[in-house]
Amino acid sequence: MSKTDLPDAKAMLDSRGLYDGPTIHSMNPLLLMEKIIRERIIDSMYWKEQAWGLNAATLLDRAVELQFIGGQYANQKPTPFICLILKMLQLNPEREILLEYVQDEDFKYLRVLAAFYIRLAWPAAEVYKTLEPFMADYRKIRLRTQSGYKLTFVDEFIDDLLTKERVCDIALPRMPTRAQLEDLDELDPREPLVSDVESDEEEGEEGEMMEE
């Protein structure tokens, strides 16, 4: 890994086919985002002013300031969330740094941001293993769409990431379903996060039955 990063994505988007930097899914990371939205991001004020010259540490400053997630809003403006995703694709942070991001408890938008990046960049089995524990995070998050704000939750968003093809106006890389991966023995069967709660409830119900 080089010791320096670039302040913007200009050099990585060289159109002459000379790209020789790090790759994700054996392609230029920035190309994981469609051309249209990528260009809208690069033309946006947030990208030029706020996202310029960040590295994996200073990106945190912007991530904790996030107020909503989403792809494009209003008149097809890219959200700061999607701008930071592009920034992370450009920075290509190390695995440990991403785990640090996603495991942090205090900042929910940082977790969601890191989860989205992990879904974009990591191999399928690891995506499932890393993201499924956060289905137990029920905190509210704001989703901004073309037509306004919507309420969603961290667990709902993670589920979308694992099951949907398009999230936040971005086509996610194709990923086999959990069942397929289990058949290939790449994943163990999922342990339900709510098993304890369910058994408690059952006990409670039984107790009520007894009382009746």
Q: Which residues bind another protein (CB under 8 A)?
A: 1-8, 45, 48-50, 52-58, 60-61, 64, 93-94, 96-97, 100-101, 104, 106-107
Place of tokens 């709660």: 197
| CA pair distance 45, 183, nearest whole angstrom | 47
Largest CA distance in the chain: 77
Which of residues 61 and 200 has its CB atom nearest to another protein in the complex?
61
**Shortest Å distance, C-beta 200 to another protein:** 32
- What SS3 class is residue 146? coil
Contact 82, 170 (CB under 8 A): yes
**Shortest Å distance, C-beta 58 to another protein:** 4
Question: CA dihedral defined by 15, 70, 22, 9, rounded to 10 degrees?
Answer: 40
Rg of the chain on CA atoms, in Å:
19
**Shortest Å distance, C-beta 110 to another protein:** 9
Which of residues 45 and 171 has its CB atom nearest to another protein in the complex?
45
Q: Is the dihedral of CA 13, 81, 163, 179 positive or negative?
A: positive
Which of residues 11 and 74 has its CB atom nearest to another protein in the complex?
11
Which of residues 62 and 144 has its CB atom nearest to another protein in the complex?
62
**Shortest Å distance, C-beta 159 to another protein:** 26
Which of residues 10 and 174 has its CB atom nearest to another protein in the complex?
10
**Shortest Å distance, C-beta 2 to another protein:** 7
Residues in Cβ contact with 8 at an 8 Å cutoff, skipping those fewer than 6 apart: 42, 47, 48, 52, 53, 90
